[in-house]
A and B are shown apart, each in its own frame.
Chain A
């Protein structure tokens, strides 16, 4: 057993930490208020190799392992959860799907620019009537000669409407197989006639992450845009989601750590009843609990990533990490606001944003209930 990070992992984490502190932190409040996608910062992160971390260099990637990826997502999310999800949805959903299932041509065309950070990966699974029940997909793709004709709607799709969003991978029903729906993955390039990107949602948090509803009306793409085997769509999407959960877990750890940092800082400064509020046990014990939970969440996340790197099964661990880390982040955000009292409810204090950014972690990429469902099934229940 070895809990030590490699020198390479430590050094890259240090680099990302410094980057986040210097290049992101000074702008983050202003960006959040404006609610616009931060292209300049995205480009700088791309230069650092952050958008291609777990992909080989031959595909434009950085060639790092998933542990390094998880550490990087944590560090970025410590400063901006919005940017954390931008990276996570791009890497462990959008780009990974092409990496795992794409043909060589598809990888050259799509994975290379994604891994270089010149294009954002987007992954369209959720539909108005198919959320947790992802298999209930209503979007259809019918083969007409050498083209797929797509009809349907996807909702809440991250990274799908920026200047550098060039395609989305979707699940669609491509037929029937022995009475069962056949679901496949298809690449839909932006600009294809019949593919409409709606204006961005007005979200509670994640203000600088880009989220849209997408609709497809007789949208035609070449038959070659099928990604992976016909009929294997749901299975491959769910497999990629396992890795996505490591990303969301890492994001949650970063956000929870930020909550802890701010809570402790404030508890030392704020005076009431003639002493810093951190001297009251109610406050100091809450901080101690946060410290323990954040560390636990981090360990679970890194363990899942480590299993992935060893090519061992990691689906259960990813699910546990996502569940625990996201709920830790929500609790930590709630505690951090509580410790700030009324100031925590005011946007001048970062914990206010942390609180708004935390809730979605218990919802996206499988709600807490869905994670418990998966884990209960794992127990044979």
Chain B
């Protein structure tokens, strides 16, 4: 069972006090204040890929589009049990939309022998939820999104559970090769062992630029995207909104007062 798992490096916003500021270009956030981590759902995808490998044998290949600093995220996936890695980097990849990102990933994946391609179901930074699904389309493969369980039924066939609203699980059989976008909570991601970390530092991360993907300039980045992110902005405070200031204890007190005053409780 060979699995390709796509991982993205995102700013660590797990601390609710994280402050996000838009940079002067208006098309990015100020990155210098963040530490960067693996996208949450991708972390579960990595674990699921390694669990499948441990159960059924095969190899796990980690694929990323990102700058050199993303090696940190890739190496951690290798330390946990990934075997090989590819990182795509080129200035011309900037501002790729979900479909274009999928095209770039597909260009790296197409030469690998695989049964399953996994991605996280959503990225915590842009929240598109589209890349994995688009990847299925670009690769011309069946796909399932928001996957909460994976089971190998027989050679060439998986049974996967998709989490729907209200906690309902949709079970479906899907033929491999296929693309699955993995939901958080599907497993309990492990911590890398020191031994794994040491071994990972010796594993190669293959680099691919635009030329190596075989794509043309107008198939990548902004030129290759049909939707383009124009600008980030912070919504203005509307007139009907009242922002409560202070710590949790203060604001909860004020909120209770307002609700009572308006006769809502």
- Are A7 and B194 in contact, with the CB atoms below 8 A? no
- Is B75 an interface residue, CB under 8 A from the partner? yes
Q: DSSP class of B's interface residues: helix, strand, loop or mixed?
A: helix
Chain B 165-204, CB-CB to A under 8 Å as 1, else 0, gives 0000000000000000000000000011111011011000
- Is A198 an interface residue, CB under 8 A from the partner? no
B198: chain A residues at CB < 8 Å are 8, 63
- Are B194 and A271 in contact, with the CB atoms below 8 A? no
- Are A7 and B201 in contact, with the CB atoms below 8 A? yes
Within 8 A of B (CB), among A263-312: 265, 268-271
- Are A271 and B197 in contact, with the CB atoms below 8 A? no
- Is A229 an interface residue, CB under 8 A from the partner? no
- Are A271 and B246 in contact, with the CB atoms below 8 A? yes
Given the contacts A14-B76, A271-B246, A49 and B197 also touching, CB distance less than 8 Å: no
- Are A15 and B192 in contact, with the CB atoms below 8 A? yes
Give the Cβ gap from A33 to chain B, nearest Cβ, in Å: 20
Within 8 A of A (CB), among B199-214: 200-201
A14: chain B residues at CB < 8 Å are 72, 76
Chain A 1-29, CB-CB to B under 8 Å as 1, else 0, gives 00000011011101100110000000000
Partner of A271, one of B72, B79, B195, B245: B245
- Is B17 an interface residue, CB under 8 A from the partner? yes
- Are B72 and A49 in contact, with the CB atoms below 8 A? no
B72: chain A residues at CB < 8 Å are 7, 10-11, 14
- Is B239 an interface residue, CB under 8 A from the partner? no
- Is A48 an interface residue, CB under 8 A from the partner? yes
- Are B76 and A11 in contact, with the CB atoms below 8 A? yes
Given the contacts A271-B245, A271-B246, A265 and B17 also touching, CB distance less than 8 Å: yes
Q: How large is the interface on B (under 10, 10 to 19, 20 to 34, 35 or more residues)?
A: 10 to 19
- Are A8 and B201 in contact, with the CB atoms below 8 A? yes
Q: How far is the CA of A268 from the CA of B201 in the complex (A)?
A: 40
Q: How far is the CA of A378 from the CA of B4 in the complex (A)?
A: 59
Q: Which residues of A contact B (CB under 8 A)?
A: 7-8, 10-12, 14-15, 18-19, 48-49, 53, 62-64, 68, 265, 268-271
- Is B247 an interface residue, CB under 8 A from the partner? yes
Partner of A11, one of B75, B245, B247, B250: B75
Q: How far is the CA of A334 from the CA of B250 in the complex (A)?
A: 25
Give the Cβ gap from A83 to chain B, nearest Cβ, in Å: 16
Question: Closest 5 interchain pairs by CB?
Answer: A11-B197, A62-B194, A49-B194, A269-B247, A15-B191
A49: chain B residues at CB < 8 Å are 193-195
Partner of A48, one of B75, B76, B191: B191
B200: chain A residues at CB < 8 Å are 11
Given the contacts A18-B191, A19-B191, A265-B17, A12 and B245 also touching, CB distance less than 8 Å: no
Q: How far is the CA of A18 from the CA of B191 in the complex (A)?
A: 8
B191: chain A residues at CB < 8 Å are 15, 18-19, 48
Known contacts A11-B200, A19-B191; 4 additional CB pairs below 8 A are A7-B75, A12-B192, A62-B194, A64-B194
- Taking CB as reference atom, which chain A residue is nearest B76? A11
Partner of B197, one of A15, A18, A265, A268: A15
A63: chain B residues at CB < 8 Å are 194-195, 198
- Taking CB as reference atom, which chain A residue is nearest B197? A11
Chain B 227-265, CB-CB to A under 8 Å as 1, else 0, gives 000000000000000000111001000000000000000
Among B17, B192, B194, B201, the most chain A Cβ lie within 10 Å of the Cβ of: B194
- Taking CB as reference atom, which chain B residue is nearest A22? B191
- Are B193 and A8 in contact, with the CB atoms below 8 A? no
11 residue pairs of the A-B complex, CB under 8 angstroms, read: A8-B194, A8-B201, A18-B191, A48-B193, A53-B194, A62-B195, A63-B194, A63-B198, A68-B194, A265-B17, A269-B247
- Are B197 and A8 in contact, with the CB atoms below 8 A? yes
Given the contacts A269-B247, A270-B247, A271-B246, A12 and B194 also touching, CB distance less than 8 Å: yes
A12: chain B residues at CB < 8 Å are 192, 194, 197
Q: How far is the CA of A19 from the CA of B194 in the complex (A)?
A: 13
Q: How far is the CA of A9 from the CA of B191 in the complex (A)?
A: 15
Among B195, B197, B198, B245, the most chain A Cβ lie within 10 Å of the Cβ of: B197
A18: chain B residues at CB < 8 Å are 191
Among B191, B192, B245, the most chain A Cβ lie within 10 Å of the Cβ of: B191
Give the Cβ gap from A73 to chain B, nearest Cβ, in Å: 15
Q: How far is the CA of A53 from the CA of B198 in the complex (A)?
A: 13
B197: chain A residues at CB < 8 Å are 8, 11-12, 15
- Taking CB as reference atom, which chain B residue is nearest A68? B194
A268: chain B residues at CB < 8 Å are 17
Q: How far is the CA of A178 from the CA of B193 in the complex (A)?
A: 52
A270: chain B residues at CB < 8 Å are 247
A269: chain B residues at CB < 8 Å are 246-247
Q: How far is the CA of A158 from the CA of B79 in the complex (A)?
A: 34
Give the Cβ gap from A179 to chain B, nearest Cβ, in Å: 49
- Taking CB as reference atom, which chain B residue is nearest A72? B194
B17: chain A residues at CB < 8 Å are 265, 268
Q: How far is the CA of A269 from the CA of B19 in the complex (A)?
A: 12
Q: How far is the CA of A206 from the CA of B62 in the complex (A)?
A: 42
Give the Cβ gap from A261 to chain B, nearest Cβ, in Å: 10
Q: How far is the CA of A354 from the CA of B14 in the complex (A)?
A: 23
Give the Cβ gap from B188 to chain A, nearest Cβ, in Å: 10
Give the Cβ gap from B173 to chain A, nearest Cβ, in Å: 34
Q: How far is the CA of A62 from the CA of B194 in the complex (A)?
A: 7
Give the Cβ gap from A40 to chain B, nearest Cβ, in Å: 15
Give the Cβ gap from B253 to chain A, nearest Cβ, in Å: 13
Q: How far is the CA of A48 from the CA of B196 in the complex (A)?
A: 11
B247: chain A residues at CB < 8 Å are 269-270
A271: chain B residues at CB < 8 Å are 245-246, 250
Q: How far is the CA of A68 from the CA of B197 in the complex (A)?
A: 12
Q: How far is the CA of A63 from the CA of B200 in the complex (A)?
A: 15
- Taking CB as reference atom, which chain B residue is nearest A269? B247
- Taking CB as reference atom, which chain A residue is nearest B35? A14
